[in-house]
Amino acid sequence: MNRAEFRAVALTVLFGALGASGAWYLGAPAPFLIGPAVVVMVAGLAGAKLTVPHKLRNACFLLIGISMGASVTPEVIVAAKRWPLSFVMVIVMVTVLLYVAAWILQHLFRIDRKTALLASSPGHLSFVIGLSADSKADVPMIAVIQSVRVMALTLAVPPILSALGMATPGSSGPQVAMELPVLAIVTAVAVGLGLLFTRWHFPAALLLGGVAASAIPHVSGFISGQVPVWIMNPVYIIIGALIGTRFSGVSIAAMRTAFIAGAVTTVVVTIMAAACAAFVSWVTGVPFNAALIAFAPGGLETMAAMAVMMHVDTTYVGSHHVIRLIFLSFLMPWVMGRVKREEKNG
């Protein structure tokens, strides 16, 4: 890492820490996630060169996964018998959201069909950008619209739950911390599984490696305890800053058009996702706060971190977002292949 890169990383961490401190002082929900996202976004739009290195980002994803896995208990597994309907609803919702958002972008904002479909994918941004490389889609437009969705959901979900009286940070009482030697062993296993999952092209491979390495010994009762708070709070700050860096280097003019389009579609899909979450909560008895975070089409890592911070069922939330990403891995290539065939035949 050269001096310029180090300066960019240091500034990002500094802005993230300032944002977290400010949000915590103001009593904002999920302050260590929301505060950094807002401050880093503003700094990036103001022209600051900000970045989160891949290795640091991956380490944070791994720890989020370990924290999620630590919440898997035998009681949670027993409750999973109510989830099949919920999984089906995720698949249905993803398909409906994709086409509704694409219709809005095409007909209200005159965005071409390829760009509209790719920009409307409810998740899997890096995968979507990869698909766009083989098409004539507007990649910057896709990136900004997708980033607006992730940012808006990160900012909107905690206040919504707070307004409904369902945000319960700290409500679970003091949590027993995992002993550091145990955490070190779990982390080593998580790294190995994450690399294996990466080789198998799993979505969010490192996060899933952390979940698997932590969940199996926790659910068996072999180990217990959460990742220490003094480790997890900086992790949340880095993830929040990572979201904010997606706006770094984007011109105000380009932001304006894409931001409006992204905001409109995000409002629509959020309302639809909330309605779906309410239905699933009503039918299955899953708490609405868990269902809302599970069905919100935000980033897997972001929603996973939010689930941990808001003290909802992380296994429920994480499994639904993994299902969403796996389904999108099949759906989006099929959709774009269909568009390509139609253009060829038309």
Residue range 98-113, pLDDT digits in tens: 999 999 999 999 899 9
Residue 106: give its domain's CATH number: 1.20.1530
Element spanning 231, H or E: helix 229-245
303: tokens are 């929603």
Amino acid, res. 41: M
* CB neighbour burial string for 241-259, b if at least 16 within 10 angstroms, e if fewer: bbbbbbbbebeeeebeebb
Q: 177 forms bridges with which residues in the sheet? A: 226
Altogether, the residues listed in the chain come to a count of 346
Q: What are the pLDDT digits (tens) for 135-176?
A: 778 877 887 888 788 778 777 777 777 776 655 554 444 568
Q: Which residues contact 214 (CB under 8 A, 6 or more apart)?
A: 65, 66, 67, 68, 69, 70, 72, 186, 190
Distance CA 227, CA 210 (A): 11
If you average pLDDT over residues 59-87, what whole number do you get? 78
Of residues 179 and 175, more confidently modeled: 179
Element spanning 286, H or E: none
Inform me whether the pLDDT recorded for 183 exceeds 90. Answer: yes
Distance CA 189, CA 183 (A): 10
Distance CA 73, CA 87 (A): 20
Number of structural domains (the chain) is 1
Of residues 141 and 21, more confidently modeled: 21
Closest CA to 135 of 343, 346, 310, 345: 343
**Mean of all residue pLDDT scores within the chain:** 84
Domain that holds residue 28: 3-345
For every residue of 156-193, DSSP letters joined together read HHHHHHHHTT---TTTT---PBPPHHHHHHHHHHHHHH
Distance CA 34, CA 253 (A): 25
Sign for the pseudo-dihedral over CA of 6, 12, 13, 15: positive
